[in-house]
């Protein structure tokens, strides 16, 4: 059966449906079966068979799993298990009942529904919270792991229908001792969410993620990405050369303080940019809550359920119908 496989530790996964298909991997919803009718819904990220022979890719896939295995935080999608079936590697992860920001933004556009600015700030603050945790992560000896996500973007930020915001996909992250890296030789990340140093083939640190998070916030507030061009190269050139604007002139939603936060997050001069996710988080939360009550997970959850009318995006067809996930043994 293509949708069912057993691994050596005694439990098995049954594929339910395909969730997302990318260039290098496919994500499925699956049921993890254990003893005495135990069932847990999870997400399974599977390497495409065409990449299984690429040693560096597989080593980085394994490195990603090892890196995120110990990242246990409410604003980061949790990894449960790294496995291998007949030469194909997979990662078992927390299943999020919700959508990514790209799907969320498209639904808002389709329904001509504006996103309240306080929810834009709240979503971004939860991303900053997850980054603050990842950036300060240490190993068993207390040494900083020096994680840089390098791909903070709409596709890699999930919102559960309960209102939880989760950062996912550390597939091109860099961290000491976990992943092989060619930084300085190749560009990694989505062009329209890169930091200038990423786009310019420079070595990055956690401040690069801050710039990308600033783009996310501006995109949520404006309804479009000011750096997005007609091609990846045009986006990269805009990141490198387009001045960070006075956002107050672009939207009445953006007041003086929010404009300051955006400009500090997207400062071209690294010495003027937020040093860490903690610093950005503090300013975002102070902005939301200094006057009293502000948005919460529950506030966001009610909003997103209303936007989607409590229905998730249309699922892709059942993966068990004619889909070969792992090669058959010869």
From CA 310, how far away is CA 306, in angstroms rounded? 6
Q: Give the DSSP per-residue string, 219-281.
A: HHHHSS-TT--SSHHHHHHHHHHSPPP-GGGT-TT--HHHHHHHHHHT-SSGGGS-SSHHHHH
H/E stretch holding 158: strand 157-160
Of 151, 169, 192, 283, which residue is the catalytic one?
Answer: 151
For residue 294 the two structure tokens come to: 């502000």
Active-site residue, 151 included? yes
- Sign of the alpha-carbon torsion through 288, 291, 297, 300: negative
- Counting Cα atoms < 13 Å in the Cβ hemisphere of 20 gives 20
Residue 100 three-state SS: strand
Residue 303 burial (CB count, 10 A): 20
Active site residues: 151
């Amino acid at each position: 059966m293509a949708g069912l496989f057993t691994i050596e530790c005694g439990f098995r996964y049954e594929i339910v449906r395909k969730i997302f298909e990318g260039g290098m991997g496919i994500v499925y919803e699956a049921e993890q079966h254990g003893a005495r009718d135990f069932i847990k819904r999870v997400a399974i990220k599977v390497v495409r068979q065409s990449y299984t022979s690429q040693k560096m890719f597989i080593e980085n896939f394994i490195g990603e799993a090892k890196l995120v295995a110990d990242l246990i935080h409410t604003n980061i999608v949790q990894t449960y298990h790294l496995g291998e079936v007949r030469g194909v590697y997979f990662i078992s992860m927390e299943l999020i009942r919700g959508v990514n920001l790209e799907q969320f933004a498209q639904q808002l556009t389709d329904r001509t529904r504006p996103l309240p600015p306080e929810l834009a700030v709240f979503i971004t603050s939860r991303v900053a919270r997850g980054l603050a945790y990842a950036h300060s992560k240490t190993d068993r000896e207390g040494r900083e792991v020096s994680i840089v996500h390098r791909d903070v973007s709409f596709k890699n930020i999930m919102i559960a229908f309960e209102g939880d915001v989760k950062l996912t996909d550390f597939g091109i992250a860099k961290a000491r001792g976990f992943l092989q890296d060619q930084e300085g030789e190749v560009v990694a990340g989505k062009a329209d969410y890169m930091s200038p140093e990423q786009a310019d083939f420079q070595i990055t640190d956690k401040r690069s993620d801050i710039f990308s998070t600033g783009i996310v916030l501006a995109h949520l507030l404006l309804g479009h990405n000011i750096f997005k061009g007609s091609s990846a190269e045009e986006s990269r050139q805009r990141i490198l050369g387009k001045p960070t604007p006075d956002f107050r002139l672009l939207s009445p939603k953006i007041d003086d303080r929010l404009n300051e936060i955006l400009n500090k997050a997207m400062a071209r001069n690294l010495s003027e940019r937020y040093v860490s996710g903690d610093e950005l988080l503090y300013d975002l939360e102070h902005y939301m809550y200094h006057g009293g009550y502000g948005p919460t997970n529950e506030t966001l959850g009610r909003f997103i359920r209303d936007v989607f009318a409590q229905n998730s995006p249309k699922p892709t067809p059942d993966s068990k119908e004619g889909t070969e996930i792992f090669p058959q043994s010869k």
